[in-house]
């Protein structure tokens, strides 16, 4: 099912609910007519079977229609909630990485889970209630004017003061609803912080501090929630006070008209019934006004999320690439924020085969190079090419299909080990999966796990060690059989025995693939065919280990320090 059918379906359901609501209003509005006829017939001593039968039919019709409307509305609002959740998540999945990283996780979660539901209340219940009760109000008003203009004008005068008050309240409710939903978002963000850092919290003995923080966030949401409820609860009294005043005027003046013979008792009864009928739709109108304001506030929070900048992927036709195409960075300048460049005029060629090691101090811009190559970010100037093709002129699917990327901080999904390994290649043959596991040195881990490949890992890969997680990510990258393998310190958590297995694998894979490793350890550097020294965001030098040792003082110092701190 695509977005349009989904959209059309909920629109159809809303219209159905609205139509049932209109029928309901019509059947209600018809009742006083029959009651009036009934009274006139009693006065004239004529047969009352027909008006009585009609009144009964109207009662039954009303009951059936009320149930139908409530069901249709509920169903439509569930559908709208699902549509909003789905479409906002869809936009998040395809969002620009830089924009995505600015999002607060807890707040985003709260927008997706609770604001979507609140918003659907505005769209479904609020709008349909407002439409049907609006129709009912207009109908009742027209019929009251028809029965007695003077009496009707007097009653409306009393009611309009209440309407004015409610309109003023509505704008306050909306502002307070926005505050309340933002407070709920902040609370959710606090919870997320605890979920993500429980060990840090415990080892810092910060449970009390976090508890206080969460309590104050919960209290802030409570306070704005109470203020919102207080404002919302004023809607009903504003309506009822107006109505009671109108009732008083109607009965007083109406009865004097009946006594003076200017109005029949049947007409006054019908008029009072209409006035009563005005009560519930009017109250509903006021309440739905409040609800719509709350929902609109929620909807605007969801829309903000839905409006997140999408990753640009304008090219559809895959580019032609040659077997021997390598990667070239040409005068690449880039900064996460425009004022602070991270990479300055980086020019670099990486051949289609062999191992290239990138070395440099922490913060030199090594990971950034990989992120530009994956097109998570875009160079401020200069270009990155695969063969002759600028990566910005390639479809994203093609570009990312060429690359197997093992991130610096590996995160695994909650799911089975198999799902985690096959994530980049769902249809991989069993033999290929087995080969990737063996090549990544993961076999002993698989043998050790209670259900082997089908062992369920918790969120973030809890249950595996840091080194094991890295090897899962390496197996995933290998299984993709990419043209370029990017490894960001992927052997950093391995013992020397496992590391030797991995380095052996990388060396073998590099016969057909370009392996690019960000490395701190001499052991990794030693398998590299060429080494790129990155310093302060620029390429300082390129060469083999021996060449660099000979000519590059900077490299020599780095290696010496490395040997002192962690002899390989």
Ligand X SMILES: Nc1ncnc2c1ncn2[C@@H]1O[C@H](COP(=O)(O)OP(=O)(O)OP(=O)(O)O)[C@@H](O)[C@H]1O
Residue 363 binding ligand X, by CB under 6 A: yes
Rounded CA separation 31/156 (Å): 21
**Complex with ligand X: residue 101 or 202, whichever CB lies closer:** 101
Alpha-carbon span 72 to 108, nearest angstrom: 29
> Residue 565, interface with ligand X (CB under 6 A)?
no
Phi/psi class of residue 105: alpha, beta or left (left: φ > 0; alpha: ψ in -120 to 50)? Answer: alpha
DSSP labels, 53-99:
HHHHHHHHHHHHHHHHHHHHHHHHHHHHHHHHHHHHHHHHHTB-HHH
The nearer residue to Mg ion, 131 or 359, going by C-beta atoms, is: 359
Give which of ligand X, Mg ion, none residue 379 binds (C-beta under 5 to 8 Å, depending on kind).
none
Binding part of the chain for ligand X, among 133-141, 196-204, 361-369, 384-392 by CB under 6 A, reads: 361-369
Q: Is 342 in the site for ligand X (CB under 6 A)?
A: yes
Q: What Rg value do the Cα atoms of the chain yield, rounded?
A: 35
Asked if residue 151 lies in contact with residue 250, where contact means CB atoms within 8 angstroms, the answer is yes
* Cα four-point dihedral sign 151, 157, 160, 165: negative
Is the Cβ–Cβ distance between 136 and 29 less than 8 Å?
yes
Q: Which of 25, 367, 445, 494: binder of Mg ion (CB under 5 A)?
A: 367
**336 binds ligand X, rule: CB under 6 A:** yes
Q: Which is nearer to ligand X, 86 or 100 (CB)?
A: 100
| Binding residues for ligand X, total number by CB under 6 A | 12
Cα–Cα distance measured from residue 534 to residue 275, given in angstroms and rounded to the nearest whole number? 81
The bridge status of strand 327-334 relative to strand 381-386 is antiparallel
In angstroms, the CA 324 to CA 322 distance is 5
- The answer to whether 480 and 402 have CB atoms below 8 angstroms apart is no
Main-chain dihedrals φ then ψ at residue 404, nearest 5 degrees: -110, 120
Contact between 25 and Mg ion by CB under 5 A: the answer reads no
Least Å distance between CB 335 and Mg ion?
Answer: 16
Would you tell me how many other CB atoms lie within 10 Å of the CB of residue 149?
A: 10
Stretches 32-40, 315-323, 362-370, 539-547: which one binds ligand X (CB under 6 A)? 362-370
Per CB under 6 A, 503 contacts ligand X: no
**Footprint on residues 386-415 left by Mg ion (CB under 5 A):** 408
Near ligand X by CB under 6 A: residue from 111, 294, 366, 469:
366
Which window, 135-143, 161-169, 181-189, 366-374, contacts Mg ion (CB under 5 A)?
Answer: 366-374
Partner from ligand X, Mg ion, none binding residue 446, C-beta < 5-8 Å depending on class: none
Q: Which is nearer to ligand X, 217 or 369 (CB)?
A: 369
Instruction: Select 23 or 98, whichever has its Cβ closest to ligand X.
Output: 98
- Nearest distance from C-beta of residue 364 to Mg ion, angstroms: 8
- Residue 365: which of ligand X, Mg ion, none does it interact with, CB under 5 to 8 A by kind? ligand X
**Which residue, 272 or 533, is less far from ligand X as judged by CB?**
533
Under a CB-based contact definition with an 8 Å cutoff, are residues 463 and 412 in contact? no
User: Footprint of ligand X on residues 375-414 (CB under 6 A)?
Assistant: 408
Query: Which residue, 49 or 338, is less far from ligand X as judged by CB?
Result: 338
- Mask of contacts with ligand X, 11-50, x by CB under 6 A? ----------------------------------------
- Indicate which of ligand X, Mg ion, none lies near residue 185 (CB less than 5 to 8 Å, by partner kind): none
Q: Which one of ligand X, Mg ion, none interacts with residue 368, CB within 5 to 8 A by kind? A: ligand X
The residues, any chain, with a CB within 8 Å of residue 379's CB and separated by 6 or more, are: 332, 333, 334, 343, 372
Within 406-465, the residues that bind Mg ion by CB under 5 A are 408
Taking CB under 6 A as the criterion, the residue among 31, 117, 224, 367 binding ligand X is: 367
- The answer to the question of residue 360 lying near ligand X (CB under 6 A) is yes
Cα–Cα distance between 488 and 411 in angstroms, integer? 13
Asked if residue 365 binds ligand X (CB under 6 A), the reply is: yes
Residue 152 or 342 with smaller CB distance to ligand X: 342
The answer for residues whose C-beta is within 8 angstroms of residue 198's C-beta and 6 or more apart is none
Asked whether position 562 contacts ligand X by CB under 6 A, the answer is no
Q: How far is CA 499 from CA 126, 430, 472, 506, 542, in A?
A: 62, 25, 14, 10, 24
Minimum gap (Å) between residue 558 Cβ and ligand X: 12
Please state the φ and ψ torsions of residue 387, each to the nearest 5 degrees: 60, -125
Contact indicator for 359, 352 with CB cutoff of 8 Å = no
Binding site for ligand X (CB under 6 A): 101, 336, 342, 360, 362-368, 408
Binding site for Mg ion (CB under 5 A): 367, 408
């Amino acid at each position: 099912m695509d977005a349009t059918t989904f959209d059309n379906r909920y629109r159809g359901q809303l219209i159905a609910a609205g139509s049932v609501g209109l029928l309901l209003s019509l059947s209600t509005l018809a009742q006083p007519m029959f009651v009036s006829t009934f009274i006139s017939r009693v006065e004239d001593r004529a047969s009352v079977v027909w008006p009585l039968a009609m009144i009964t039919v109207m009662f039954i019709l009303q009951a059936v229609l009320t149930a139908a409307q409530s069901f249709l509305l509920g169903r439509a609002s569930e559908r709208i909630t699902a549509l909003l959740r789905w479409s906002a998540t869809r936009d998040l999945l395809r969002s620009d990485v830089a924009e995505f990283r600015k999002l607060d996780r807890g707040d985003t979660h709260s927008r997706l889970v609770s604001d979507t539901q609140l918003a659907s209340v505005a769209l479904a219940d609020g709008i349909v209630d407002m439409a049907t009760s609006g129709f009912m109000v207009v109908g009742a008003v027209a019929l009251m004017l028809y029965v007695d203009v003077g009496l009707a004008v007097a009653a409306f005068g009393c009611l309009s003061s209440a309407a004015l008050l409610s309109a003023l309240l509505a704008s306050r409710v909306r502002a307070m609803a926005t505050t309340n939903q933002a407070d709920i978002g902040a609370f959710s963000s606090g919870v997320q912080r605890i979920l993500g850092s429980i060990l840090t919290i415990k080892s810092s003995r910060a449970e009390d501090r976090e508890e206080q923080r969460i309590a104050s966030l919960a209290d802030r949401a409570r306070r704005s929630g109470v203020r919102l409820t207080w404002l919302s609860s004023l809607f009903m009294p504003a309506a009822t006070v107006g109505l009671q005043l109108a009732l008083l005027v109607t009965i007083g003046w109406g009865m004097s008209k009946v006594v003076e013979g200017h109005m029949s008792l049947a007409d006054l009864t019908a008029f009072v019934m209409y006035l009563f009928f005005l009560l519930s739709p009017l109250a509903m109108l006021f309440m739905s006004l409040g609800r719509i304001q709350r929902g609109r506030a929620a909807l605007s929070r969801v829309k903000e999320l839905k409006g997140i900048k999408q990753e640009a992927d304008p090219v559809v036709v895959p580019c032609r690439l040659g077997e021997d195409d390598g990667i070239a960075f040409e005068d690449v300048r880039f900064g996460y924020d425009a004022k602070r460049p991270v990479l300055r005029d980086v020019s670099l060629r990486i051949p289609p085969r062999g191992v290239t090691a990138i070395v440099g101090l922490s913060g030199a811009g090594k990971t950034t190079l990989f992120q530009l190559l994956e097109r998570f970010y875009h160079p401020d100037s200069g270009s990155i090419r695969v063969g002759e093709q600028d990566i910005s002129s390639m479809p994203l699917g093609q570009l990312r299909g060429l690359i197997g990327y093992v991130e610096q901080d590996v995160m695994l999904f909650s799911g089975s080990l198999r799902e985690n390994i096959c994530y980049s290649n769902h249809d991989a043959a069993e033999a290929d999966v087995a080969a990737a596991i063996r090549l990544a040195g993961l076999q002993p881990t698989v043998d050790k796990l209670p259900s082997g490949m089908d062992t369920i890992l918790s969120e973030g890969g809890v249950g595996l060690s840091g080194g094991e997680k890295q090897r899962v990510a390496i197996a995933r990258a290998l299984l993709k059989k990419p043209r370029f393998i990017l490894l960001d310190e992927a052997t950093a958590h391995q013992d020397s025995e496992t590391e030797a297995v991995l380095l052996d694998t990388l060396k073998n894979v590099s016969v057909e693939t370009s392996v690019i490793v960000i490395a701190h350890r001499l052991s990794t550097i030693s398998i590299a065919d060429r080494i790129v020294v990155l310093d302060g965001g620029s390429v300082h030098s390129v060469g083999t280990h021996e060449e660099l040792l000979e000519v590059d003082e900077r490299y020599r110092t780095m290696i010496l320090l490395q040997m002192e701190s962690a002899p390989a």
